[in-house]
Amino acid sequence: MKYKERYKQWLENPFFDDETRKELIKIENNENEIEDRFYKDLEFGTAGLRGIIGSGSNRMNKYTVGKATQGLANFIKKEKAEDKGVAIAYDSRNMSKEFSEQTALCLNANGIKCYIFESLRPVPELSYAVRKLGCVAGIMITASHNPAKYNGYKVYWEDGAQITAPKDKLIIEEVNKISDYNQIQMISKEEAIKIGLYNIIGKEIDDEYINEIKKQLQNANIIKEEKNLSIVYTPLHGTGNIPVQRILKEIGFENVNIVKEQELPDGNFSTVSYPNPEDKNAFQLALKLAKEKNAEIVLATDPDADRLGVYVKDRKTEEYKAFTGNMSALLIAEYILSQKAKKGTLAKNGVIIKSIVSSTMAKPIANEYNLKLIEVLTGFKYIGEKIKEFEISNEYKYEFGYEESYGCLVGTHARDKDAIVAVMLLCEAAAYYKKQGLTLWDQMIKMYEKYGFYKEEAISITLEGIEGAQKIQDIMRKLRKNPPKKFGNYIVEKIRDYELAKIIDVKTREEEITNLPISNVLYYELKDDAWICIRPSGTEPKIKYYIGVKGNSFEDAEQKLQMITKSIIKEKYN
């Protein structure tokens, strides 16, 4: 069906409500807007849905959410898992609460029990609740760190991780079978409650989740000695506010300063244009407060509280240093691994798991503590999948997992990135090193001196709409047709093409298999531990370039990074 026909159908079909029609009438003279809203159905991908809120088949609205939920319900019924139930949580975004309730009632209409949180909760708590309650699945209504106009729908399976193969493809098939919105089943909330299918959850799960996090503390006694560590925290109007304040208070920190302007939920994110802790602009208010309070550590979590951004004060310059996601994750890793090694609690068959686009500093850290290092594709669900695999096989014991995208997981209480436990451990580490006369910045420098000056950069190029999607595919085709031989002064030694599942030695032409799922990703291994990875984003209209180098100093690493970055632009690989 062509986009104009779809637009007309949504205007004329009595199934769509008046509010939807009024919104669509307003764009009747805007051909580009009509095309963008209706040129396709909002795709239910391997992570679920994510899109701009609004009317249309290519937008997040109650009809597209209903279609996704009906497809998921049909799959759950095929699995005969209705009685296990589904846990549902939502963040602070516009329409999140409405979408979560609609999701629950659609599942209820299909005879599937639901456990829905009484108010907004973070992603890692939803992941925890799925396993705690013995659910077959979980749904999180969130668009993570995207701008305010977006919302999304993440699907988790019974292991607490986002859906992976083969379940993801099977669920997508069921969603795509819903060809008519009239197939979406619904029930009233009153009826669902009456028959025991709509269940509210809250405090009990909160308490159990927080207690699980506390089990990861390494030196609780030191926190009492350094309870006045000056901390500034902003939830960026999201779900991290209550659990972060609670955990820091309960473990003993007494000097926690909240950015009041960003404390309360706000789906419009009125104080920040992009609620992403990777973006330095998101820290403007937090850094202002940090200077007033002379804070030693400045923290921000994204709206669904799976990502953590960090600034740390350098007492030598009195400046606040920004930590990348790689830096904060690896600092946490070094802290917990060193403490466990000291206490003799580090597993002899321990493993660190990282995504292929994350810092390779993990290699020498793993070697230092005699741990296995495993790489997976981008997406924390693949780390969650490995945790489950190792729990069954006992081949390895999970010690730490991280992604460069500002997310890590300590413990196995959740199977997704957990910014709440990351906040707790980063603050504990700050207290521990402070007692030794070190700031977190001092400790990071010690790690560079010990392991090498690793430096990474991620470049995202936004290409929206039909033309943008085509441009992204053209870039990937061009790279495969004419493989780059070098980037700056770095000769390409090996090419990993994850779409072909091949690793090709450029010099010998020998090939080996990647042993990872098929994915549209290209990875270039360069000399001296340098690398480049290029992939289309799975959740946003972007193509992403990841670059990593190892230098002999900060300056050397920066020069190498800039040289490779300039070559990418010069050679028009973007």
- Of the candidates 308, 332, 315, the one whose C-alpha atom is nearest the C-alpha of residue 244 is 308
**516 DSSP 8-state letter:** S
Q: CB-side exposure of 486: number of CA atoms within 13 Å? A: 6
Helix-then-strand count for the chain, H and E: 19, 23
Judging by DSSP bridges, how do beta strands 114-117 and 137-141 pair with one another? unpaired
Q: What is the DSSP string of 524-563?
A: EEESTT-EEEEEE-SSSSEEEEEEEEEESSHHHHHHHHHH
Name every residue whose Cβ is closer than 8 Å to that of residue 68 and which is 6 or more positions away in sequence.
44, 48, 49, 153, 175
* CA 445 – CA 451 distance, rounded (Å): 10
Q: Rounded to 5 degrees, what are φ and ψ at 550?
A: -130, 125
Which tokens in the block code for residue 55? 């009317």
Residue of 55, 92, 96, 144 marked active site:
144
* CA 58 – CA 176 distance, rounded (Å): 14
The answer to whether 144 is a known catalytic residue is: yes
Q: Report the 10 Å Cβ neighbour count for 263.
A: 16
Judging by DSSP bridges, how do beta strands 372-376 and 407-409 pair with one another? unpaired
Segment (H or E) for 164: none
**412 DSSP 8-state letter:** S
- How many Å is the Cα radius of gyration of the chain? 24
* CA 54 – CA 100 distance, rounded (Å): 16
* Contact between 311 and 332 (Cβ < 8 Å): no
* CA 494 – CA 426 distance, rounded (Å): 36
**85 DSSP 8-state letter:** -
Q: CB-side exposure of 134: number of CA atoms within 13 Å? A: 4
Which tokens in the block code for residue 26? 């307003």
Query: What are the b/e assignments for 329-351, b being 16+ CB within 10 Å?
Result: bbbbbbbbbbbbeeeeebeeebb
Instruction: Write down the residue that tokens 């996704």 correspond to.
Output: 68
* Contact between 212 and 411 (Cβ < 8 Å): yes
Query: What are the b/e assignments for 130-147, b being 16+ CB within 10 Å?
Result: bbbbebbbbbbbbbbbbe
Which tokens in the block code for residue 561? 């990074």
* CA 272 – CA 309 distance, rounded (Å): 15
Name every residue whose Cβ is closer than 8 Å to that of residue 130 and which is 6 or more positions away in sequence.
87, 137, 138, 156, 157, 158, 159, 160
* CA 119 – CA 200 distance, rounded (Å): 9
Letter for the amino acid at 542? K
Catalytic positions: 144
